[in-house]
Structure 1
């Protein structure tokens, strides 16, 4: 096909697909619906899991000098007999609403399936999706294109990350402090850290608004390779005395949509409860409303009028 003809065809297709608005410019294409994208993503992910494998044999019988890095490859050729990722994968369903992404579609609790694999189970306990964690990670597209990584252990609060990442890490087990090893190069490792994979649909990732559109296309399922070393139990992100996990009032696994004083906060100063030191906006810090005169936190949290709503969430008390 000649170049001039190709350009003409592409130009014609562009004209047909970009309807002009009243101002004469191209009309923006509205974001897709979560309910449409979720099943498409799940089909794509399941195909990937059935056609790829990871170096499970090295994790089962570690060779000398093994670095415990997960390597994914296609089941084909000399690898045709490898065990597909799907056989090792476990899944959990997480509900997502369009409001999570600032969309006005009005979709509520659209089911999304998250897949995860523990290549090496950690020797400790599991964090919650609201805890601060010490970990390494590498994020990539299903085709292997990387978009983010942390090669050395660093602290990261899961509540400030995409929902699939925080919920996936919460399915893993961390290591234990007694297994920390100081390396000669000044770094450290944790001998019984948890190592695994998290595979998520776009609705649990960046959906229509990726952090780097030049690398992550819209509606892209994502993979994270994670090594979980430790975590802070009952992390309190805003230091108000309420563990962040308890600030997920609707229990949907997402902290960003729980904001008791949303209606009284300024538009540019709205904070979800897990980031707000005065959850009910009554001018009295949350910590003061749950503490006695000596500063000790009172359990259960005080409820002066007995209406079932603790004082720190009740602006009238």
Structure 2
């Protein structure tokens, strides 16, 4: 059976958790699970999946005529018993997550979560950061194959704005294509001959954790098949002159907890980062509007003017 099956007990527990945590009606409402409890459980389930499933790696290694470069996943059994498991191709990266990232009050800090990814085809260009803009198409599903999101056409995304943190972190492990390999398909669509194609599997703590969405139970492990076309470095989400990647002041890979003036807007979405009434762009440019590097620090206190409310 494609994508395998999820053990009934796991489904029962997931659905029960969804009802108790999220709908607030019927039964006793219990507090959300701890990241530190869920992360190892998710990891065990992901490892089991990777060891018992394969993808069409042979098509990518020896491209058959008319190959559409779509990733297909199936169970290692029967006539597929000799296939190489996905685990043999998978790489992983550990990313820390805190309960505050989900608005939870558990006080958990920097709980490690392991994200897995497979590079089915390496792109011919560079690799984006979690703060860049990317041209990407994707298909998102649960491990049992149930589709919850899909974008069949290339679209630009500022990946920092996507709710599932692991999506941005996963794309950052892959390589994009290049503009000189864009090809018109003759039907109004286009393809990129050297795009990067891969699989991203993330634990619920890198997805939506305890939050249930329209087609997703709470505590869902997410899997994305992605094609990464192009990317733009130094994306500036709020157009304040400071690249989004530089707005991650604490360098933890999470942009929403950097709010210098504590106005509820993270710096990467705030055009006045220090809240002094002078726009960030004005505080980092000369009279001709040219950005000054390094950023001005009028009182030489080590804090650039655009982050220092005492300097205008």
TM-score, normalized by the shorter chain, greater than 0.5: yes
Structure 1 counterpart SS, 2:256: coil
Q: Deviation string for 1:91-143 (max 9, x for gaps)?
A: 00000000000000000000000000110000000111011110100100000
Question: How far apart in 2 are the matches of 1:136 and 1:86?
Answer: 24
Q: Is residue 231 of structure 1 aligned with residue 231 of structure 2?
A: yes
Question: How far apart in 2 are the matches of 1:134 and 1:62?
Answer: 24
Counterpart in the other structure of 2:83 = 82
Q: Is residue 114 of structure 1 aligned with residue 88 of structure 2?
A: no
Structure 1 counterpart SS, 2:120: strand
Counterpart in the other structure of 1:166 = 168
Counterpart in the other structure of 1:271 = 265
Question: How far apart in 2 are the matches of 1:87 and 1:26?
Answer: 43
Q: Deviation string for 1:207-264 (max 9, x for gaps)?
A: 000332xx211111110000000011100000000000111111111111111111xx
After TM superposition, give the deviation of residue 293 of structure 1 in Å: 1.1
Counterpart in the other structure of 2:300 = 306
Q: What CA RMSD, in Å, does the superposition of the two structures yield over aligned residues?
A: 1.5
Q: Runs of 4+ in structure 1 displaced over 2 angstroms?
A: none
Question: How far apart in 1 are the matches of 2:72 and 2:156?
Answer: 24
After TM superposition, give the deviation of residue 61 of structure 1 in Å: 0.4
Counterpart in the other structure of 1:194 = 196
After TM superposition, list the pairs within 5 Å mapping 1:92-103 onto structure 2.
Answer: 92-103=93-104
Q: Is residue 218 of structure 1 aligned with residue 214 of structure 2?
A: no
Counterpart in the other structure of 1:5 = none
Q: Could you tell me which runs of 5 or more consecutive residues in structure 1 were left unpaired when the two chains were aligned.
A: 1-13, 19-24
Counterpart in the other structure of 1:157 = 158
Question: How far apart in 1 are the matches of 2:139 and 2:202?
Answer: 14
After TM superposition, list the pairs within 5 Å mapping 1:50-61 onto structure 2.
Answer: 50-61=51-62
Question: How far apart in 2 are the matches of 1:254 and 1:53?
Answer: 32
Question: How far apart in 2 are the matches of 1:211 and 1:121?
Answer: 32
After TM superposition, give the deviation of residue 27 of structure 1 in Å: 3.6
Structure possessing the higher radius of gyration over alpha carbons: 1
Structure 2 counterpart SS, 1:136: strand
TM-score normalised over the length of structure 2: 0.90
Counterpart in the other structure of 1:247 = 247
Q: Deviation string for 1:8-55 (max 9, x for gaps)?
A: xxxxxx9xx98xxxxxx8541110000000000000000000000000
Counterpart in the other structure of 2:139 = 138
Counterpart in the other structure of 1:291 = 285
Counterpart in the other structure of 2:29 = 28
Question: How far apart in 1 are the matches of 2:309 and 2:213?
Answer: 37
Structure 1 counterpart SS, 2:58: helix
TM-score normalised over the length of structure 1: 0.89
Question: How far apart in 2 are the matches of 1:197 and 1:158?
Answer: 16
Counterpart in the other structure of 2:187 = 185
